[in-house]
Structure formats: C-alpha cells, structure tokens
A and B are shown apart, each in its own frame.
Chain A
Amino acid sequence: MSSIKTDVLIVGAGPVGLFAVFELGLFDMKCHLVDILDRPGGQCTELYPEKPIYDIPAWPSISAQGLVDKLMEQIAPFKPEFSFNRMVSSLERLEDGSFRATTDENEVIEAKVVVIAAGGGSFQPKRPPIPGIEAYEGTSVFYSVRRMEEFRGHDLVIVGGGDSALDWTLNLQPVAKSVTLVHRRPEFRAAPDSVNKMFALQELKELDFQVGQVTGLTGTDGQLNSATIKGPDGEVEVACTRMLPFFGLTMKLGPIAEWGINLHENLIPVDTEKFETSTPGIFAIGDINSYPGKLKLILSGFHEAALMAQAAKRIVSPGERIVFQYTTSSTSLQKKLGVAG
C-alpha cells in the first residue's frame, strides 16, 4: 500500500487539532489528521454538540457544533486531509528523523512532525457493568460487528436501546439462531422506524425483547452459555452464546501509551515553550498534555497550537528564518488564506 506523505500528522480532529491546521498552515505546513470518530469535532461533536460554550474569545455563546463548523471554515484554505474512523496504532521514528505512523486499517502516514491532540483519548466502546464480562470479550462478547457470519447459528443477546442495538437486532435476526434484545426500559433512543420493526418481529415471535438489565453470565473457557436478565418481574435466564453490548463510548488513551513518549497519569508532559513531548518532533497540545498550571480549556489548546507551530516549522524547514507576521497586515499570510486584495 502506498503511504501518505505530509508535513505534520495530527492525531485527533477535535477543536485543538483543527486549529493547529490553521497555525501550521500559516507557516506553509501541510497537515493530515487522523480521528477514530467519523467526523471532525471530537468531544464537541460526540458528547455535547448542542451545548453552548461561553469561554471562546469573542463568542459570547457558541454551540459546540457551531465552533467546530467555524473551525472547519477557518482551516479550509489550508486543505487539510482527514482519515476518519481510524486510530493511529503504531508510530516509529525513521532514520532521517521523520515519523511513520500506521493506522488500525494499515494505512501508512509519513510525516516530519507529529502533533498529538487526542483530548481525553480515543473514543472506544464502553464495557457494560456486567460482572465477569471480561472473560468472554473477543470470544463470545463483541462490541462491534466486523463480520455478520460470526453470529450465524448463535443464540445472540443484544443489549442497549440506541441505533446500534436496534440496527444489529434487525440485521442479525435472519442470521442468528435466536435474538434477544435487552434494554432497561420499553422506550428507545433509536430511530422510531427501527423500533417499530423490532416490535413487529417480536409480535411474530421472530425475536424476543426483554425489559431489564443483564446481571450475570455463565459459560466456560470464554464461551458463553447463558445470560441472566433482571427485569421488573424478577430474573430470567436466556440462552446466549454471543453477546453484543452497546453502552456508548468512553475515552481511553489507547495505543499512544506504546509510542515511547513519557506519560504521567495518562497525560503527556510537555514544556511550555514548544509543547514538545519527551521525544523531539512529537508535540502534544490540548487536553492530553500536562504542564504546571495547565487548564483543560479549548482556549488554552489554541494558544498551545500557535506556539507549537513555531517549533514545528524549525523541524519541517530547518535553517529557514521564521518571520513573525500578523494576519491583519501581512500580504503573504493573506495570500495563503485566500483573502489577498
């Protein structure tokens, strides 16, 4: 597979990663961003898109999604490239000092500088609060469906009330031996159309829907046999050889811990001049870094991006003189932004 070549690889496309494109772009550095989510914005888009943020300078109030949309507009002149639904799984340093990153889908990205703007870490499926579930993960319990065939002929229990739970209930119903959907209440977050389809199949006894919470699992050597469901009328035991729990997403540091960078309590210590990590050429900005006085504010991340860009430029274009310029008056910056008169 051919590799992607860029000046700067940015890990994380949240607000701080996006603004880094702007600051790096003013110094003519091209950026490629990788994010595990399917769109830009990080926590802003995933957790609270409609919530107003009140501490963005000059915006008395802006919704989290609104901020992300504005950032995308602001960085558009620099034509950043994105790899969504991807996680950088490994990062190695090449002989010439540049970096080679490989994603979980085996894409290779080569960059002169790496900027980690990964916030609270990557969003990963949340492990449901079912005692002993760890013993079955990867063998009987899965958090996503890679191949539907893995569920053929199985007694499948799907847990959750959102779109993932309902969609897979409907899609796997024809494939599995039996499907039991478990949700703690009869109301769903999923699209009403899917919910109606599910209830119709339940009417026809093509699947089972149980109101309740899974409280226990039985099985041996990672192979599930049954699940206990505690509902309003007490406990029932259902046959279960495959389970798909959909309990939302949580943030985990993930593979960053294996890149050889010094970490402290799951954060990346940096200096406050360049926001560089213990590995020269790898920077960390935004919520994921730590330094004396650190505040986890978007505002602080923007500042960190600006200072980082100066240091990154020295690596990407060694020996070149860095001229400090204002966007208000510099015709060369205005040309880059596409606004020159």
Chain B
Amino acid sequence: MTKLTFVAFDGTRFDVEAENGSTVMENAIRNAVPGIEAECGGACACATCHVYVDEEWTETVGEPEAMEEDMLDFAYDVRPNSRLSCQIKVRDELDGLVVQVPERQG
C-alpha cells in the first residue's frame, strides 16, 4: 500500500492508504476528501478533481499529458503544480505524496 496525504483547503489533513494502480482521485472520493468533486467520474472530461502537487513531489509525479492540459484550462486558479488527480496513478515511488485541494473546483 502507498501512503497519500490530501490537504483540504481548510488545512485538514487526510492520510490514506492507496492501492497501486488506482488513481489519486479515486482515493480522495473513497475517503470523502472535501473539495474533490470528480463530476465526470475520471474520464478526464471535467477538471473538478484539480489538485496542487506539493512542490517537492512535482518531479516524481510528472507533467500532465496534452489532454489533461486541455482540461486544466477549465479549472480554477491553475498553477505550475496543478494536476487532475484522476490522471495520477498511484505507484511505489509516490509513497508519501502530498497534494493540496484548491479553494474551489471550476
């Protein structure tokens, strides 16, 4: 199991155990992290599972692909460390990953 931490907009931390191969978004939904809406259910079609990847993790997590970049156009307050959490797959290297939930989704 891989450990993930979601930091909600009010600062509340959610430490969760995630299965490799699942998406970061799925783990947020399973653990009822507030502020992750995931309206489209993970189809990379809505930009409502937007997160900020903690600065020290951006390199390990990697850059969004073109389709995800296109979708990020619809998100609120997009920053260089913005990602759609439905497009990040959990794997061993991400053990300890911290992501922040933005003020609002779109």
**A residues apposed to B, CB below 8 Å:** 47-48, 51, 126, 129, 160-162, 183-185, 187, 189, 213, 247-248, 250
Additional pairs, 10, CB under 8 Å, beyond known A47-B46, A184-B73: A47-B40, A48-B43, A48-B45, A51-B43, A129-B76, A161-B73, A184-B72, A187-B69, A247-B74, A250-B106
The answer to whether B89 has its CB under 8 Å from any CB of chain A is: no
A184 close to B78 (CB less than 8 A): yes
- Classify the secondary structure of A's interface with B: loop
The answer to whether B77 has its CB under 8 Å from any CB of chain A is: yes
* A and B contact pairs by CB, cutoff 8 A, 24 listed: A47-B40, A47-B43, A47-B45, A47-B46, A48-B40, A48-B43, A51-B43, A126-B74, A126-B106, A129-B75, A160-B73, A162-B73, A183-B73, A184-B72, A184-B73, A184-B78, A185-B69, A189-B70, A189-B73, A213-B77, A213-B78, A248-B73, A248-B74, A250-B106
A189 to B78: give the CA distance in the assembly, Å: 17
A187 to B65: give the CA distance in the assembly, Å: 13
Q: Which 9 A-B residue pairings sit nearest by Cβ, starting from the closest?
A: A129-B76, A47-B45, A48-B43, A248-B74, A189-B70, A48-B45, A247-B74, A161-B73, A51-B43
A129 to B76: give the CA distance in the assembly, Å: 6
A51 to B46: give the CA distance in the assembly, Å: 14
What chain B residues lie within 8 Å of A213 (beta carbons)?
A: 77-78
Most buried by A among B69, B73, B76, B106: B73
The answer to whether B3 has its CB under 8 Å from any CB of chain A is: no
Using CB atoms, name the residue of chain A closest to B80.
Answer: A232
What chain A residues lie within 8 Å of B77 (beta carbons)?
A: 129, 213
B104 close to A129 (CB less than 8 A): yes
Using CB atoms, name the residue of chain B closest to A161.
Answer: B73
Within 8 A of A (CB), among B37-78: 40, 43, 45-46, 69-70, 72-78
User: How close is B83's CB to chain A, nearest CB, in angstroms?
Assistant: 14
What chain B residues lie within 8 Å of A126 (beta carbons)?
A: 74, 106
What chain B residues lie within 8 Å of A183 (beta carbons)?
A: 73
User: How close is A259's CB to chain B, nearest CB, in angstroms?
Assistant: 24
Using CB atoms, name the residue of chain A closest to B105.
Answer: A129
Most buried by B among A47, A126, A162, A187: A47
User: How close is A267's CB to chain B, nearest CB, in angstroms?
Assistant: 15
What chain A residues lie within 8 Å of B78 (beta carbons)?
A: 184, 213
User: How close is A323's CB to chain B, nearest CB, in angstroms?
Assistant: 40
Most buried by B among A51, A129, A189: A129
User: How close is B69's CB to chain A, nearest CB, in angstroms?
Assistant: 7
User: How close is B80's CB to chain A, nearest CB, in angstroms?
Assistant: 9
Contact string against A for B residues 82-106, beta-carbon threshold 8 Å, 1 for contact and 0 otherwise: 0000000000000000000000101
User: How close is A123's CB to chain B, nearest CB, in angstroms?
Assistant: 12
B73 close to A129 (CB less than 8 A): no
What chain A residues lie within 8 Å of B106 (beta carbons)?
A: 126, 129, 247, 250
What chain A residues lie within 8 Å of B46 (beta carbons)?
A: 47
What chain A residues lie within 8 Å of B72 (beta carbons)?
A: 184
User: How close is B47's CB to chain A, nearest CB, in angstroms?
Assistant: 8
A150 to B76: give the CA distance in the assembly, Å: 28
A189 to B70: give the CA distance in the assembly, Å: 6
A250 to B78: give the CA distance in the assembly, Å: 19
What chain B residues lie within 8 Å of A161 (beta carbons)?
A: 70, 73
User: How close is A160's CB to chain B, nearest CB, in angstroms?
Assistant: 7
